Amino acid sequence: MKLDTSPRLADPDAIFARLVEAHLGLDEAASRRLDARLVLILANHVGDEAVLRQAIALARDPAPPNARR
């Protein structure tokens, strides 16, 4: 399956705020673990290794294709 990068969030500002709020009061290490837990939960929800590989590659290199050197 192909990674879907089209805009899919009905209320993007709210999701952004939820993600940031989730880290409130956490120190650096705890914050990092929260992100890791979140990634693992979502990775399991996605379930498709090919999609996850594409997502990891995109996260590693978020620049648009025509901006790459």
Partner 1 sequence: MPHANPRYPATPPPASGRDHRRVVVVGGGLVGLTLALDLARHGVAVTLLDEEDSVATGSRAICFAKRTLEIYGRLGLGEKLLARGVTWKTGRVFHQDRQVYAFDLLPEEGHRYPAFVNIQQYHVEAWLVEACAEAGVDLRWRHQVTGLAADADGVTLTVTTPSGAYALRADWLLACDGARSFIRRSLGLPLHGQVFQDRFLIADVVIRGEVAFPAERWFWFDPPFHPGQSVLLHKQPDELWRIDFQLGAEADPESEQQPERVRARVAAMLGPDVPFELEWVSLYTFRCRRLDRFVQGRVVLAGDSAHQVSPFGARGGNGGVQDADNLAWKLAAILRGEAGPALLASYEAERIAAAEENILHSTRATDFISPKTPAARAYRDAVLELAEGHAFARALVNSGRLSRPAVLADSPLNAADDGTWPGGAETGSPAPDAPVRHQGRPDWLLRHLGGEFALLVFDAVWTPVPGLRAVFVTAEETPGTLWDHSGLAAARYGAPPGGAVLIRPDQHIAARFAAPRPGAIRAALARALGQMEHAA
Type of residue at 27: D
**Nearest distance from residue 34's CB to partner 1, in Å?**
8
Residues recorded for the chain: 69
Handedness of CA 24, 30, 34, 39 (dihedral sign): positive
Which one of 5-13, 15-23, 40-48, 57-65 is the stretch in contact with partner 1 (CB under 8 A)?
40-48
Q: Does 9 contact partner 1 by CB under 8 A?
A: no
Q: Does 22 contact partner 1 by CB under 8 A?
A: no
Phi-psi region of 47 (alpha: psi -120 to 50; beta: other; left: phi over 0): left
- Contact residues: partner 1, CB under 8 A: 29, 32-33, 35-37, 39-41, 44
